[in-house]
Amino acid sequence: MAGEAQNWLSRMTEAAGKQSFHGAFVYERTGSFTTHEIWRQVGDDVTTERLVQTDGEYQEWLRRNGKLICATTGGPVIASQEASQTINRPELLEEWYELQVLGATRVASRPVTVVAVKPRDAHRYAYEFYLDSDTGLLLKSLMVNERQALLERFQFATFELNPTLADAMAPGKGCLEVTDTEAEAMVADSQWQPAWLPPGFTEGRQAQLLNEGDGQIISQVYTDGLARFTLFIEPLSEEHQAEDLRAQLGPTVAVSRKLNLTEGLFLATVVGEIPPATAERIVGSLLPEQGAQTP
């Protein structure tokens, strides 16, 4: 049964970059929800995606090969749905999750196969993926915590494969060009490595150095192949009054701690879709190797 589930997760990852479609979906987290319309056009080496929020304040995003090209000045683009479509090496997930095919049902008038991904420890959340039985595309996903409380729902209401998209891909007038905010440089060997990581989590890519205001922030992504979090290290000035923080919105947690080191004052922050207690333990393990102490 686990092997069958792995095959479905592999199909989901492969289908995400191969299928053109148009649809409308609902995104819900912590009891609030928004509705959206999405167009995805897959061509030779180019995947273009246009996303429009269809309720509340008008918001629009246009991405090309995963890079944000233009956006309205609103909330952040919904990234959870895309992230969950791409699973690194599904065959390795079974060490950290129990994989199971639950059966079949329908989403957006299409037959789907339901795959459950249940954590084997307290350091990650549980998922249910509803995959189009013909293509493997993700049409619905649920994320729940250890108490089975719903943290996040993504679900198509209408869905059409391979539509004519030429006119629909043009961004609206309110979609403003996004300034390139990619990392300025890669960090060859970051000294900021947590002394403790949840089992199965490894560096997702090389650490990056970001320009932010007057300082530079080190950013490092960690993943277990499905769940992920990012560690940010920001230098602080003596007059900076940053406080320790713990916040959660849906599945996304943010935990920060000010570190008073011999090298100076720093703010360490973990942001990601992991339980708050796990994020706090990661930040707490950032004890310096020589002469540092937390205030």
- Does residue 295 lie in a domain region? no
pLDDT score of 289: 47
Shared-domain flag, residues 173 and 193: no
pLDDT score of 139: 96
pLDDT score of 31: 76
Shared-domain flag, residues 246 and 214: yes
Shared-domain flag, residues 117 and 65: yes
From CA 107, how far away is CA 98, in angstroms rounded?
24
Q: What is the CATH number of the domain that holds 205?
A: 3.30.200.100
From CA 174, how far away is CA 215, in angstroms rounded?
31
pLDDT score of 183: 44
From CA 70, how far away is CA 174, in angstroms rounded?
9
Shared-domain flag, residues 42 and 142: yes
Are the beta carbons of 220 and 283 closer than 8 angstroms? no
Percent of the chain surpassing pLDDT 90: 56
pLDDT score of 7: 93
Q: What is the CATH number of the domain that holds 95?
A: 2.50.20.10
Quick one: CA dihedral 178, 18, 93, 155, positive or negative?
Answer: positive
- Does residue 244 lie in a domain region? yes
Q: Name the CA radius of gyration of the chain, rounded.
A: 20
Shared-domain flag, residues 63 and 147: yes
Shared-domain flag, residues 172 and 189: no
Choose the final residue of a domain: 177, 209, 229. 177
pLDDT score of 294: 38
pLDDT score of 208: 76
- 227-248 pLDDT, tens digit each: 999 999 988 877 666 778 899 9
Shared-domain flag, residues 8 and 149: yes
- 106-149 pLDDT, tens digit each: 999 999 999 999 999 999 999 999 999 999 999 999 999 999 99
- Does residue 294 lie in a domain region? no
Shared-domain flag, residues 135 and 242: no
Are the beta carbons of 125 and 144 closer than 8 angstroms? yes
Shared-domain flag, residues 38 and 151: yes
pLDDT score of 217: 86
| Phi, psi of 264, deg, nearest 5 | 140, -170
Shared-domain flag, residues 77 and 167: yes
- 49-60 pLDDT, tens digit each: 999 999 988 899
- 179-215 pLDDT, tens digit each: 765 445 555 556 778 999 999 999 887 677 776 555 6
Number of domains present in the structure of the chain: 2
Shared-domain flag, residues 111 and 171: yes
Q: Strand locations in the chain, DSSP E?
A: 21-29, 32-42, 47-53, 59-64, 67-71, 97-107, 110-119, 126-132, 138-144, 150-161, 176-177, 185-186, 202-203, 208-212, 215-223, 228-236, 245-249, 252-261, 264-272
Choose the final residue of a domain: 177, 198, 222. 177
Instruction: Kindly tell me if the per-residue pLDDT of 39 is higher than 70.
Output: yes
Shared-domain flag, residues 104 and 194: no
- Does residue 255 lie in a domain region? yes
Please state, rounded to an integer, the average pLDDT across all residues of the chain: 85
- Does residue 293 lie in a domain region? no
From CA 101, how far away is CA 66, in angstroms rounded?
29
- 246-295 pLDDT, tens digit each: 999 889 999 999 888 777 888 999 999 999 999 999 999 986 543 333 33
pLDDT score of 16: 81
Are the beta carbons of 69 and 177 closer than 8 angstroms? yes
- Does residue 21 lie in a domain region? yes
Choose the final residue of a domain: 177, 207, 224. 177
Nearest to 178 by CA among 67, 39, 37: 67
- Does residue 223 lie in a domain region? yes
- Does residue 60 lie in a domain region? yes
Would the pTM of this model clear 0.85, i.e. be above it? yes
Give the three-state DSSP class for 14.
helix
pLDDT score of 80: 43
Give the three-state DSSP class for 287.
coil
What range defines the domain where residue 273 resides? 185-284
From CA 25, how far away is CA 139, in angstroms rounded?
9
Which helix or strand (DSSP H or E) is residue 283 part of? helix 276-284
